[in-house]
Chain A
Amino acid sequence: MIDAYTESILIFVGINILLAYSFYIPMATNQISGGQGAFMGIGAYVSAALTVNFHVPFALALAASGLVAGAIGAVVGFPALRIRGLYLVIMTLGFAEVVRVFFMTNEYFGGAYGFSGIDELTNLPYVYGVLALVLVLLFRLERSHIGRAFQAIKENDLAGETLGINVTRYKVIAFALGAMAAGLGGALYAHYALFIDSNNFGFHRSIEMVIFAVFGGINALWGPLVGATILTVIPEFLRVIQEWRMVFYGLMMILLMAFRPQGLLTKHMFRREKPQGETEP
């Protein structure tokens, strides 16, 4: 068997992939969410409360936290419809801050002190099981009419409407799915880190999720997977220059946006025909 340290890396790769997708899915309908960290937090806290306070079995708690996060995502998704582009980014950022303060001040969830005493219930089978389910779902989604609707919306909201696509419905679905993915990631995280704190799910975390997805390529279904994997694994090898890791990340983001904003993988990387109407991030 592999040792605990390698196991921890693999677990984090799995969780980070989920998180990267949580940004990717709303992005697939042109919704940039800067606050997915909040949904991760919701998933984490809900699952922790369920297993610690109510002794709910882990699988159930996982499912519940995904659903709760998704539901809240749907609720937030509605007002989000009225807001476009940059305003949406800021609104989601603001929403994330409000959620952060909520968990920080709420004594039931540990307050400023955080929630500790969580059992280590996350393991490789759970992480990759959940991930596989989500990936299969996404894969089928992409091929279904929902996926095509997403694509249409991404190209052009208004055109989508004139074509009879219920833009509202699909955008909210996308937002909810993204929130659900983040919630699942949060629940898995909580039961591995054993301790959660409102600061874990704030601005920094949301940005991290954006980076994973953007680095891998937000136009390609496998982009977030590749991006999250590489960015999770590389720091472990750069332990030698661990101290400069963040500078490296920052520079990478600047250069990437300047020279290859579509990220590592692009939709048509392996096609022979010319790409049609691929949107720039």
Chain B
Amino acid sequence: MIFLQQVVNGLMLGCTYALVALGYTLIFGLLRLIHMAHGEVLMIGAYTALVIIGYLHGNLFLALVGTMMVTAVLGITIYLASIRFVEKGGHLSPLVSTIGVAIVLQELFTKMFTGEKIAFPETLAVKNIQLGGVTFSTVQVVIIVIALACMIVLYRVLKGTMIGKCIRAVSENMETSRLLGIPVFRVVVATFGIASTLAGIAGVLVGIAYHSIYPLMGIEIGLKGLAIIIIGGMGNVVGAMVSGLLVGMMEIFSVAYISSSYKDAFTFGLMVLILIWKPEGLFGKRADTRV
């Protein structure tokens, strides 16, 4: 009974992780670089929602819409202001540059809101639903539903729409796509928008789930997101979703049955193992590891 409860806990955490991982994997697939400030986009999403709900008295729906817009713009701005200059360089410069962005954003928000945790406003009436001994709270249901909806929508967009096809083409081979007439620049911008929107939504969900947010919250989640895309396979969308859920589940169970202190070790340990034995990730193909 409690086991099932923990499964639900794991699903909830996993959904949030999956959304973050999706953003990383989209950007990596496209540009072969790691967006070290992606976690900060999530953080800013959370704060945006806090402002909308707390100061502007909007409801959850408005908060989501507002956050999506803000983070999309933010993500695109980050691309234009920094990543664009370094995407052609080696591996180190995009890393250092995006870390720089992350630091600036963390500091700005620390100045604006203080470094400590602040309460995320109450958004949903918390009601508990009992289903065979397992308690679902409305919060958990909402989070899981929103996250799953995002994943399904993204999947369909990538498979079915024109923009989705373009993204996949450019991820496959940028030069060829360019030669084929695909507007690569616009595709990249759109991808950043989408990835950042997902992160923003994840930020709102984190705020709802855990009731408090702080400017450095992006760091931890960001690092986990990296581990997740490695486990799932860099650039692999399905991999990101499944691994996100897997890691979330794994962490919850390590807290429940072993100890909270080890949960990070499990996640990163698994990541290191995958890198050594199956570097293309659980869902990736061998060829993906050519970097």
Contacts and interface: CB of A to CB of B under 8 A. Distances in A.
Interface of A: 27, 32, 34, 79, 82-87, 89-91, 93-95, 97-98, 100-102, 104-105, 112, 203, 207, 210-211, 214, 218, 243-244, 246-247, 249-254, 256-259, 261, 279-281
Contacts of A218: 92
Given A86-B34, A93-B226, A249-B103, A280 B269 contact: no
A32 B99 CA distance: 15
B9 interface: no
B262 to A, nearest CB: 6
B265 A102 contact: yes
15 contacts: A87-B291, A95-B268, A97-B264, A112-B261, A246-B104, A246-B106, A247-B104, A247-B107, A250-B102, A250-B104, A250-B105, A253-B103, A254-B104, A280-B89, A280-B90
Nearest to B28: A86
A82 to B, nearest CB: 7
B96 interface: yes
A17 to B, nearest CB: 19
Given A86-B291, A279-B90, A105 B259 contact: yes
B272 A87 contact: no
Contacts of A243: 111
Nearest to B220: A203
Nearest to A254: B100
A246 B107 CA distance: 7
A95 B32 CA distance: 22
Given A91-B272, A97-B264, A258 B82 contact: yes
Given A101-B265, A258-B82, A210 B103 contact: no
A209 to B, nearest CB: 12
A168 B190 CA distance: 41
Main secondary structure of the interface of B (DSSP, over half): helix
A203 B265 CA distance: 14
A164 B234 CA distance: 33
B109 to A, nearest CB: 11
Contact of B97 (A87, A104, A253): A253
Given A86-B33, A90-B275, A97 B223 contact: yes
A256 B108 CA distance: 20
B27 interface: no
A34 B265 CA distance: 17
B101 interface: yes
Lowest 5 A-B CB distances belong to which pairs? A253-B100, A250-B103, A250-B104, A258-B85, A101-B265
Contacts of B289: 84, 87
A82 B276 contact: yes
A261 B96 CA distance: 9
A94 B104 contact: no
A149 to B, nearest CB: 20
A7 to B, nearest CB: 29
Nearest to A279: B90
B91 A89 contact: yes
A250 B101 contact: yes
A82 B261 contact: no
Given A105-B259, A210-B92, 12 more contacts: A34-B95, A79-B275, A89-B95, A91-B275, A94-B227, A97-B265, A97-B268, A101-B261, A101-B264, A249-B103, A250-B101, A253-B97
Contacts of B32: 86
Contacts of A259: 85
A84 B291 contact: yes
A246 to B, nearest CB: 5
Interface in B72-87: 81-82, 85-86
Contacts of B96: 210-211, 214, 253, 256-257, 281
B140 to A, nearest CB: 28
A247 B108 contact: yes
Given A247-B108, A280-B89, A90 B226 contact: yes
Interface in B268-291: 268-269, 271-272, 275-276, 279, 289, 291
A258 B81 CA distance: 9
Contacts of B276: 79, 82-83, 91
B198 interface: no
Contacts of A251: 100, 104
A211 to B, nearest CB: 7
A174 to B, nearest CB: 16
A257 B261 contact: no
Interface in B222-269: 223, 226-227, 230, 234, 259, 261-262, 264-265, 268-269
B93 interface: yes
A244 B33 CA distance: 28
A103 B43 CA distance: 28
Given A79-B276, A250-B103, A279-B90, A98 B291 contact: no
